[in-house]
């Protein structure tokens, strides 16, 4: 019956200009035992043929469906003369079953002259015509179907007209990282290419799994492989949170020439539409760990629109997500459109160890190397860092492995991770153990690098400006502890940043950065203004904070979080005209560093910083981001100040205005 419905749909589309694109897009038709005519003497009418098909499918006598079929009413628009007007447009295959007693051969063909219709006989009855099992007969039938369908597919590609409503422009590329030359070409790349082949159609897929298996690096390799086709535009977006998402969309807007577009949701919508008008494009959405930002799990209908509303939807293009959350499968992408990225195969892991370590593993080290890969659960991030440490310090694999075995403590971050059925329970979570060894080595080798690492464990992990690293390198904690004046409207800088005459000159700063990059704690990012910018992996930050909590000196964790808060506050200075976008560099860092304010009892400093961020977002109409900022500032001031303190009331007022603007009338702000 499906073939009849297709014919009906094409006739209707031909008669309705609204559906002309359907006609234009259709190049080939494959019919499987479709009853095109009722000329056979064994069949009374076309309706009678289809009635037999329906009974074969399980419909019972007396069903309304059968009565409709008997009357032939649904076929009034697909009489042969109506459909024949369109036949010249299509490549047609008609399959029929040699053992089919429901639709005979004469009825299963259109009867077109010459080679306009390709007739293919399958060794099957009507029920088995489209079902292919493991038997040799079914497999032979499948081979016939596959080869014939492939031919009309090729013919369709050869005759595919250009899409008239898509405009052509010079392809644009916005990829924040250089190509990873140490990447190992593993099986997962082939799996990804099956899901996302070069195509003119819209398609999406996701890479998901625990942090460490290399999801971002796989996506990066896919991005650069897409660049091999000079007609592809490729864009990269950090989807960690709304701020990073918006910042990257702003960069894309500049690439697309949307310079006059306002900020806020209008900007996001303009970028989405700008990408959609391209002919061939790839969009990477990296680190989409908080699926709630994209509408997953929202319960109420009156929620503010999610970021998912601003993801391009086609008609062409490719979207690739990376996320730690398995629920991305079946929500943001189809259930079968997600790949779990877990441990590498043994030979792939060994190749990565040798490549990053720049040394072939000899026979005398093969057993130790195998044990190390097992200890590291063959996770690419752990292997890369171990190899960098071994290569840099010129230690042996056995010595490195021995250090791992002396510390069997599980780290809090991995203990609190959701259960992953793809990892063996008895295998130790070894990434953080690897990092603890390297962090201790940094403490011994370079005090400045150690300070930079620990201060930046409390800021956003992406787009870290050189100025912020330089401030951390020059931080002078000998001036004294910062005060926390409850009534102050400005940040108290008690512990201050040293002047430019500090003995820690820029050469020392770059040396410290190089040390961190050697051990893969920092990596350099592309920057639109050519100034140096860096990133840290989230697990590096978590491992660093956990080390302070469990192994640091008393109060050391609070001290580093306080340093980070003061550095960001000092750098985020709102000016009337921020022509160079200096403040924008620090919005994400301000939000992140405020999360740790309670750790250093710096709620007042953080609330003052958040108030400045709120004003900055207000001036740019970025209300969705502003809501979280105002809410946190209000909570801090309620906790640390009297609830009727002017600063508390100020924060309450800002939050109330934001709620009103975004339409959250169900959440009143009350001063109790």
The DSSP code sequence of 522-549 is: -EEE--TTS--EEE--HHHHHHHHHHHH
Cα–Cα distance between 408 and 429 in angstroms, integer? 9
Kindly tell me if the per-residue pLDDT of 565 is higher than 50: yes
pLDDT at res. 455:
97
Residue where the block lists tokens 């009849």: 4
pLDDT at res. 165:
46
Cα–Cα distance between 159 and 24 in angstroms, integer? 11
**Structure-model confidence comparison of residues 45 and 613, the more confident one:** 613
Cα–Cα distance between 605 and 610 in angstroms, integer? 9
The string of pLDDT tens digits covering residues 81-92 is 556 666 767 888
The string of pLDDT tens digits covering residues 428-441 is 334 665 567 678 87
Cα–Cα distance between 654 and 634 in angstroms, integer? 9
In b/e form, how buried is each residue of 479-501, taking b as 16+ CB within 10 angstroms?
eeebebeeeeeebbeebebeeee
pLDDT at res. 646:
86
In eight-state DSSP terms, residue 594 is H
Cα–Cα distance between 350 and 376 in angstroms, integer? 12
pLDDT band at 465 (very low <50, low <70, confident <90, very high): very high
pLDDT at res. 482:
41
pLDDT at res. 290:
85
Kindly tell me if the per-residue pLDDT of 579 is higher than 60: no
Kindly tell me if the per-residue pLDDT of 53 is higher than 70: no
pLDDT at res. 498:
46
Residue 490, φ and ψ in degrees, nearest 5: -130, 155
In eight-state DSSP terms, residue 35 is -
Could you give the angle at the alpha carbon of 525 between the alpha carbons of 522 and 530, nearest 5°? 130
Cα–Cα distance between 325 and 79 in angstroms, integer? 52
Taking residue 649's Cβ as centre, other Cβ atoms within 10 Å add up to: 16
Q: Is the peptide bond before 378 cis (omega within 30 degrees of 0)?
A: no
Handedness of CA 454, 460, 465, 471 (dihedral sign): negative
- Strand residues in 437-513 grouped as ranges (E): 464-465
Distances (CA, A) of 510 to 145, 462, 463, 514, 532: 63, 19, 17, 6, 11
Task: State the virtual CA torsion across 134, 138, 142, 144 in degrees, nearest 10.
Answer: 150
Q: Which helix (H) or strand (E) holds 204?
A: strand 203-208
Q: Which helix (H) or strand (E) holds 205?
A: strand 203-208
pLDDT band at 550 (very low <50, low <70, confident <90, very high): confident
**Out of 174-188, 254-268, 401-415, 592-606, least confident range:** 401-415
Cα–Cα distance between 325 and 332 in angstroms, integer? 11
**Structure-model confidence comparison of residues 538 and 472, the more confident one:** 472
pLDDT at res. 191:
92
Taking residue 421's Cβ as centre, other Cβ atoms within 10 Å add up to: 8
Alpha helices for 174-264 (secondary structure H): 187-195, 215-226, 242-255
Kindly tell me if the per-residue pLDDT of 497 is higher than 70: no
Overall average pLDDT of the 510-523 stretch: 83
> In what side-by-side order are the strands of the sheet with 233-238?
173-174, 233-238, 281-286, 318-323, 203-208, 338-340
pTM attached to this predicted model: 0.52
pLDDT band at 410 (very low <50, low <70, confident <90, very high): very low
CA 279 to chain centre: 21
Report helix angle 447-455 to 506-518, nearest 10.
Answer: 70
Cα–Cα distance between 425 and 277 in angstroms, integer? 48
Percentages of the chain per state (helix, strand, coil), in multiples of 5 = 50, 10, 40
Kindly tell me if the per-residue pLDDT of 411 is higher than 60: no
Overall average pLDDT of the 239-266 stretch: 88
The tokens for 355 are: 């490549």
Overall average pLDDT of the 495-509 stretch: 57
pLDDT at res. 580:
57
Cα–Cα distance between 320 and 219 in angstroms, integer? 7
pLDDT at res. 298:
58
pLDDT at res. 448:
94
Residue where the block lists tokens 């990073």: 244
Kindly tell me if the per-residue pLDDT of 562 is higher than 60: yes
Cα–Cα distance between 645 and 170 in angstroms, integer? 56
Overall average pLDDT of the 204-220 stretch: 88
pLDDT at res. 44:
40
Kindly tell me if the per-residue pLDDT of 522 is higher than 50: yes
Handedness of CA 484, 459, 247, 208 (dihedral sign): negative
Kindly tell me if the per-residue pLDDT of 248 is higher than 90: yes
8 A C-beta contact, residue 267 and residue 246: yes
pLDDT band at 218 (very low <50, low <70, confident <90, very high): very high
The string of pLDDT tens digits covering residues 153-177 is 877 776 655 444 444 568 899 998 8
Overall average pLDDT of the 248-266 stretch: 87
The tokens for 193 are: 């290419």
**Structure-model confidence comparison of residues 306 and 78, the more confident one:** 306
137 Cβ contact list (under 8 Å, min separation 6)? 123, 124
The string of pLDDT tens digits covering residues 335-391 is 999 999 888 899 999 999 998 888 899 898 999 999 999 888 788 888 888 888 888
Taking residue 277's Cβ as centre, other Cβ atoms within 10 Å add up to: 16
Q: Which helix (H) or strand (E) holds 663?
A: none
Overall average pLDDT of the 226-244 stretch: 91
pLDDT at res. 609:
94
In b/e form, how buried is each residue of 222-244, taking b as 16+ CB within 10 angstroms?
bbbbbbeeeebbbbbbbbbbbbb
**Out of 324-333, 467-476, 524-533, least confident range:** 524-533
Distances (CA, A) of 129 to 5, 8, 496: 18, 22, 79
Percent of the chain whose predicted confidence (pLDDT) is above 90: 26
Q: What is the mean pLDDT of the chain?
A: 78
Overall average pLDDT of the 317-341 stretch: 91
Cα–Cα distance between 192 and 221 in angstroms, integer? 11
pLDDT at res. 54:
53
R_g (Cα) of the chain, nearest Å: 32
**Structure-model confidence comparison of residues 315 and 221, the more confident one:** 221
298 Cβ contact list (under 8 Å, min separation 6)? 292, 306
pLDDT band at 472 (very low <50, low <70, confident <90, very high): very high
8 A C-beta contact, residue 87 and residue 110: yes
pLDDT band at 75 (very low <50, low <70, confident <90, very high): very low
Overall average pLDDT of the 104-127 stretch: 82
pLDDT band at 272 (very low <50, low <70, confident <90, very high): very high
**Out of 116-120, 415-419, 505-509, 557-561, least confident range:** 415-419
């Amino acid at each position: 019956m499906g073939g009849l419905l297709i014919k009906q749909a094409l006739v209707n589309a031909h008669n309705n200009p609204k559906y002309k694109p359907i006609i234009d897009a259709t190049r080939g038709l494959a019919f499987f035992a479709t009853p095109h005519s009722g000329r056979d003497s064994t069949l009374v009418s076309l309706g009678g043929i289809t009635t037999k098909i329906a009974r074969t499918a399980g419909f019972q006598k007396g069903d309304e469906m059968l009565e409709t079929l008997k009357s032939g009413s649904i076929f009034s628009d697909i009489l042969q003369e109506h459909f024949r007007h369109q036949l010249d447009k299509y490549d047609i295959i008609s399959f029929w079953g040699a053992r089919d007693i429901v639709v005979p051969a004469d009825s299963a063909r259109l009867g077109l002259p010459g080679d306009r219709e390709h007739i293919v006989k399958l060794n099957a009855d009507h029920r088995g015509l489209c079902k292919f099992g493991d038997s040799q007969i079914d497999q032979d039938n499948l081979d016939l179907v596959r080869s014939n369908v492939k031919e009309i597919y090729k013919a369709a590609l050869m005759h595919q007209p250009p899409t008239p409503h898509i405009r052509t422009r010079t392809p644009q590329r916005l990829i924040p990282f250089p190509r990873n030359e140490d990447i190992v070409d593993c099986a997962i790349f082939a799996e990804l290419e099956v899901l996302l082949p070069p195509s003119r159609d819209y398609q999406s897929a996701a890479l998901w799994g625990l942090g460490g298996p290399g999801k971002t690096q796989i996506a990066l390799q896919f991005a650069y492989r897409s660049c091999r086709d000079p007609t592809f535009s490729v864009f990269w977006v950090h989807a960690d949170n709304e701020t990073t998402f918006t910042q990257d969309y702003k960069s894309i807007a500049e690439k697309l020439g949307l310079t006059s577009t306002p900020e806020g949701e209008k900007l996001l919508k303009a970028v989405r539409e700008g990408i959609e008008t391209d002919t061939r494009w790839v969009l990477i959405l990296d680190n989409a760990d908080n699926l709630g930002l994209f509408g997953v799990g929202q319960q109420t209908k009156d929620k503010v629109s999610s970021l998912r509303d601003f993801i391009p939807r086609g008609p062409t293009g490719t979207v690739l997500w990376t996320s730690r959350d398995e629920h991305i499968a079946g929500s943001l992408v189809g259930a079968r459109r997600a790949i779990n990225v877990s441990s590498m195969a043994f030979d792939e892991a060994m190749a990565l160890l040798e490549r990053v370590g720049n040394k072939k593993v000899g026979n005398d080290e093969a057993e130790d190397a195998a044990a190390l890969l097992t200890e590291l659960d063959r996770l690419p991030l752990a292997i890369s860092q171990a190899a960098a440490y071994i290569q840099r310090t010129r230690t042996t694999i056995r010595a490195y492995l021995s250090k791992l075995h002396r510390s069997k403590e599980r780290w809090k971050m991995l203990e609190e991770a959701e259960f992953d059925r793809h990892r063996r329970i008895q295998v130790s979570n070894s990434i953080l153990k690897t990092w603890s060894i390297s962090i201790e080595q940094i403490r011994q080798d370079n005090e400045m690098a150690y300070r930079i690492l620990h201060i930046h464990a409390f800021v956003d992990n992406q787009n870290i400006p050189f100025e912020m690293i330089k401030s951390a390198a020059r931080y002078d904690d000998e001036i004294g502890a910062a005060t926390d004046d409850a009534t102050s409207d400005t940040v108290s800088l008690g512990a201050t940043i040293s002047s430019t005459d500090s003995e820690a000159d820029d050469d020392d700063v770059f040396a410290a950065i190089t040390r961190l990059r050697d051990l893969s704690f920092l990596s350099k990012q592309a920057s639109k203004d050519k100034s140096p910018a860096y990133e840290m992996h989230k697990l590096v930050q978590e491992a660093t904070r956990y080390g302070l909590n469990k192994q640091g000196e008393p109060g050391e964790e609070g001290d580093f979080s306080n340093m980070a808060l003061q550095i960001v506050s000092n750098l985020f200075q709102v000016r009337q005209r921020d022509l160079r976008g200096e403040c924008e560099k620090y919005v994400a860092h301000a939000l992140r560093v405020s999360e740790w304010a309670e750790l250093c009892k710096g709620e007042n400093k953080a609330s003052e910083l958040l108030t400045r961020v709120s004003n900055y977002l207000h001036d740019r109409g970025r209300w969705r981001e502003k809501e979280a900022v105002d809410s946190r500032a209000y909570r801090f001031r309620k906790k640390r100040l009297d609830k009727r303190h002017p600063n508390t009331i100020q924060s309450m007022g800002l939050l109330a205005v934001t709620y009103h603007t975004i339409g959250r009338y169900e959440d009143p702000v009350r001063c109790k």
